[in-house]
Structures are given as structure tokens and as C-alpha cells.
Amino acid sequence: MKAVGIVVEYNPFHNGHFYHVTQSKKITNADVVVAVMSGPFLQRGEPALVSKWHRTKMALRSGVDLVVELPYVFSTANAPLFAEGAIYLLGALQCDAFSFGSEDGILEPFLNTADLIETHFEEYNGLIKKFVSTGISYPQSLFYAYEQLKQKNGRVYLDLSKPNNILGYHYIVAAKKFNLPIEPVTIQRIQANYHDSIRETSTIASATGIRKEIFQKGHLEAIQPYVPDASYQELAEWRRQYSRFVDWEAFWPLLRYAIMRYRPENLKAFADVSEGIEYALIKHAKHSQTFSEFMSSIKSKRYTWTRLQRMLTHIFTGITKEELHQFKTPTYIRLLGMTERGQAYLSERKKSLELPMISRVGQVKDPMLEIDIRASDIYALGVEFFSDKKIDGDYKLPPIRF
């Protein structure tokens, strides 16, 4: 059986994701679609709208055949590490190709850009340091260094101001780094960009726009045209069970407590906390009644919204620098769910998989997995805090079979 791999968050699964799944399968002539999906906390440093189990059901009911979890260590990391963890897992699952959505929609600029930066890596790093030294944020320094570097010749290069292009570039680099025999494929993102709000003239909207609509209007009817029936049903079921959807506002009382219970010297032990930001975190947590008020108080040129959210995620889950940075690549494949086709693919490949397959976490001792379980437990605690309803933990829930 031939497999195409995709890297996803599904926060939530929408019509654009359905298009990506069907096109990926069609273009690669794959028998199965394998998704590496983030768990309870996501790459931009925020909790997922609903649990990983609800999002797995959305995927399996909408064309994905196999869903495995991207470990917390990678799912909450910057773009290069996020990509490395995900692509390494797709390689370990022996996918023949990986497919990603992009604003460019053509593979050549991705390959050219990867070659450019690899060839001129020392010069590129020097430019980054120069821009950082002027007080520009690290992400902006990366962009300015790249813009200067790509003047080298007349080849077609990527627009690295676009979020999906950035991730796609890092997927290509990761596949090269691990020397994986896996074919890259990119699919043009259609009708809605990453940050776009919902438009009534289209049936495809960004996940950002869909979440914004849910939180602003407080009901699901407005987003029904933009998600498959499976997603709508899972979202409705979540709301029925837990009364509201998850964002940092829902978790703010717990996050606020997590910040204020530490002295500054203790707070800086957590991953991504640096450069004295711990003092500002404590100061503004004392006086901020909402998460948005808190973020507005601490955001600056040096600290982007995403960087701050990742930092806060690690404080909330209690993950220290020492814990987070001890890992280079995933050490297991954590199965969340599968269709009959997905199960057939695993049966065909299981004897030659390069990493152990975990379906029951109680049978395994692994430091990376322990972090995943802790993150899931903290997420479940946050949901219980505002809803008085429990989410069954990782030790109780087996993989979903659809």
C-alpha cells in the first residue's frame, strides 16, 4: 500500500483541510493518508479548541486513515523543530510522500530556497546576528537576512513572509537533513489565507477565522458552511459536554496562578523564559483580569505574540528547559486512531517500522511520552476547571477505530 503523509493541527478540521486530504491522495495516487497531528497544545503556543480525541474523530471521518500524535516537545516548538519532529515520524511510518499546503503552490521555489540557504549558511547566520543586534525580533531578523541573501541570482525563491510557505520550507529541509526517501508535494492553498476572517462568499475559511467566529458569536451555526459534517457534529458534542471551547481565556485563572506562584529565579527555569521576561510576567499577571489584557501588557518588538504564548504554555504545563531540550528526534509513534485502511497499512508495515508503535501508554516508560501525558492531564484539568466535566486521560483511552 502507498501512503502520503501530512502534518496537521486540525483546530478544527475544516473544508480546506478536506480539500488538502483529497488532493494529496489524488496527486500521489496513495492508498492511505497518514496524519501527524499535534496534541493538546499547538505550534503557536495555544491550547487546542477541543481535545486531540475529538480532532482525531474529525479526521478519520473526513478521509484520513491514520492519526498519530506529534509529541509535545515538537508540537509546541518553533517551525524548524516542529517540522523535524513531524517529518521524522512520517519517515518512520514509511510514507512514500508528504504533502503540505502552501501559498506558492509550486515545489520549485521550496527546493531553490533550501539549496540557497544551505549553500550560503554561514553568510545567512551572520546576517541574522547583525539584524538581531539592532533590536529586531528573531523571526523578523530571519526574514530580513533571507531577503538580502536571495539577491544572489535570478532563480525563483519562496515568499517567506507567508506562514504555510515557512512551514513547507522547513519540511523540505527536515526531509533532507534525515536523508528520507520521501517525495515532497505541495498543494496551493485556496480561497482563504492563514489569518483571514470568514467570508460569506466562500465555503472555505481559515481555522483562525473559524475560531474567531465561534468565540465572538458563541454559537456554531455561523461556521457550519465551512466545516464537514463530521467536524460540526464533534464540535457540537464538545459544546454539549463541556459548555465552552478552549482558549487561553478559559485557562487564564489557572495560568495566572501558575505564573504568580513562582519567584522570578524559579520562573526562568521553564522552557523559553529568558532575558529577564520573568519579572514582567509576574508583574502583569498580578494586575491582568483577562489573558488578552495580560498579553497586551507584555507584548513588545522583541517578544512576539507566538513566542510569548509558547513560553506561557511551558509554564502552564511545567516543562523546564532541561526537560524540553534533551530530545532531538521522536522516540516512538503514538497511535491516536485509524480506519480499516489505516489498520491494514499498519499490519503490512508493522514489522519494519523504525520506531516502537504505542497504542497503550500504560505499557511504556519513555521520558518524551511522560511529557505528552503530563500536557494532556494539564489540558484536561483546565477543561474540568471551567466545565466540571472530566476528560478521560491517556491511560484510559485506546486508539479510535473507525
| 265 shares its domain with 392 | no
| 92 shares its domain with 225 | yes
119 assigned to some structural domain = no
17 assigned to some structural domain = yes
144 assigned to some structural domain = no
Q: Hey, what's the cell of 222? A: 455561523
pLDDT confidence of residue 201 = 60
What length does the chain have?
402
Compute the mean pLDDT over every residue in the chain, rounded to the nearest whole number.
Answer: 93
- Among the listed ranges 8-12, 117-121, 201-205, 255-259, which one has the minimum average pLDDT value? 201-205
Please choose, from the candidates 206, 240, 200, the residue with its C-alpha nearest in 3D space to the C-alpha of residue 220: 240
Identify the domain containing residue 294 by its residue range. Answer: 248-325
Beta strands 357-358; 97-102: pairing state: unpaired
Query: Which region holds residue 36: left if phi is over 0, alpha if psi is between -120 and 50, else beta?
Result: beta
Q: Indicate the annotated binding residues.
A: 7-20, 101, 164, 189-190
118 assigned to some structural domain = no
CATH of the domain at 21: 3.40.50
Judged against a pLDDT cut of 80, whether residue 202 lies above it is answered with no
Residues sharing a CB contact under 8 Å with residue 366, sequence separation 6 or more, in sequence order? 331, 332
Beta strands 400-401; 357-358: pairing state: unpaired
Residues sharing a CB contact under 8 Å with residue 59, sequence separation 6 or more, in sequence order? 8, 10, 13, 35, 37, 67, 337
pLDDT confidence of residue 217 = 84
CA-derived radius of gyration, the chain: 21
What share of the chain in percent tops pLDDT 90?
Answer: 80
- The average pLDDT across 202-227 equals 91
Q: How far is CA 308 from the centre of its chain?
A: 16
| 7 shares its domain with 51 | yes
* Domains in the chain, number: 2
State the first-to-last Cα distance of the chain, in angstroms, to the nearest integer: 19
- The average pLDDT across 191-204 equals 64
Q: Indicate the annotated binding residues for ATP.
A: 7-20, 101, 164, 189-190
Count of alpha carbons within 13 angstroms of residue 252, beta-carbon side = 16
**Confidence band of 137 (pLDDT split at 50, 70, 90):** confident
Helix axes 305-317 and 367-387, enclosed angle (nearest 10): 90
The most distant pair of C-alpha atoms in the chain lies apart, rounded to whole Å, by 60
pLDDT confidence of residue 195 = 54
Residues sharing a CB contact under 8 Å with residue 365, sequence separation 6 or more, in sequence order? none
296 assigned to some structural domain = yes
195 or 190, which is more confident: 190
CB atoms within 10 A of CB 184: 19
Judged against a pLDDT cut of 60, whether residue 12 lies above it is answered with yes
Q: Are 51 and 59 in contact (CB under 8 A)?
A: no
pLDDT confidence of residue 393 = 85
- The average pLDDT across 158-172 equals 93
155 assigned to some structural domain = no
H or E element in which residue 384 lies: helix 367-387
Judged against a pLDDT cut of 70, whether residue 191 lies above it is answered with no
| 394 shares its domain with 253 | no
Please choose, from the candidates 60, 16, 64, the residue with its C-alpha nearest in 3D space to the C-alpha of residue 194: 16
What would the DSSP string read from start to end of 48-116?
Answer: -SS-HHHHHHHHHTTT--EEEEEPHHHHTS-HHHHHHHHHHHHHHTT-SEEEEEESS--HHHHHHHHHH
Judged against a pLDDT cut of 90, whether residue 354 lies above it is answered with no
Judged against a pLDDT cut of 80, whether residue 243 lies above it is answered with yes
pLDDT in tens, 208-219: 999 999 999 878
| 230 shares its domain with 95 | yes
| 7 shares its domain with 88 | yes
| 83 shares its domain with 226 | yes
235 assigned to some structural domain = yes
Judged against a pLDDT cut of 70, whether residue 197 lies above it is answered with no
| 220 shares its domain with 281 | no
| 385 shares its domain with 315 | no
Whole-number Å distance between alpha carbons of 85 and 175? 10
At 158, the amino acid letter reads L
- The average pLDDT across 9-33 equals 97
Judged against a pLDDT cut of 80, whether residue 6 lies above it is answered with yes
Judged against a pLDDT cut of 60, whether residue 242 lies above it is answered with yes
Whole-number Å distance between alpha carbons of 340 and 169? 33
Of 278, 310, 325, the domain-final residue = 325
Judged against a pLDDT cut of 90, whether residue 7 lies above it is answered with yes
158 assigned to some structural domain = no
pLDDT confidence of residue 199 = 63
Phi, psi of 177 (to 5 degrees): -60, -45
